[in-house]
Amino acid sequence: DVKVTQSSRYLVKRTGEKVFLECVQDMDHENMFWYRQDPGLGLRLIYFSYDVKMKEKGDIPEGYSVSREKKERFSLILESASTNQTSMYLCASSQQGMPQHFGDGTRLSIL
């Protein structure tokens, strides 16, 4: 069974901090994704990666960056956290042409 693991279920940070969200998958998937999930807005894609060191902007990349140094790990970075980045963050991975598998999510609060 595919396992996508996000490092934290809950995280509280302060405005202006640099925040790292980590995601690891154990199925050698090429594709990895970061979304944020907000009520009434559904899931919105922040960034995705289809290979090591490759990244592409999604629909809402502003204020975020990503890193993929190893195939199994995809990190989301909030360069300078702001209160409007308080949200649920979901990581997903997939094999080419196959559906995405999701992690449990990280609920991030920026105070």
Partner 1 sequence: AQRVTQPEKLLSVFKGAPVELKCNYSYSGSPELFWYVQYSRQRLQLLLRHISRESIKGFTADLNKGETSFHLKKPFAQEEDSAMYYCALSPSSNTGKLIFGQGTTLQVKP
Residues contributing to the site for partner 1 (CB under 8 A): 31, 33, 35, 40-45, 48, 50, 56, 58, 90, 92, 94-105
- Cα–Cα distance between 66 and 59 in angstroms, integer? 14
| Cβ 80 to partner 1 shortest distance, Å | 27
Nearer to partner 1 (CB atom), residue 81 or residue 87: 87
Residue 70: what residue type? Answer: K
Query: Given the structure tokens 């809950």, which residue do they identify?
Result: 10
- Cα–Cα distance between 111 and 94 in angstroms, integer? 33
| Cβ 110 to partner 1 shortest distance, Å | 23
| Cβ 15 to partner 1 shortest distance, Å | 28
Nearer to partner 1 (CB atom), residue 36 or residue 81: 36
Q: Is the separation of the CB atoms in 91 and 48 below 8 Å?
A: no
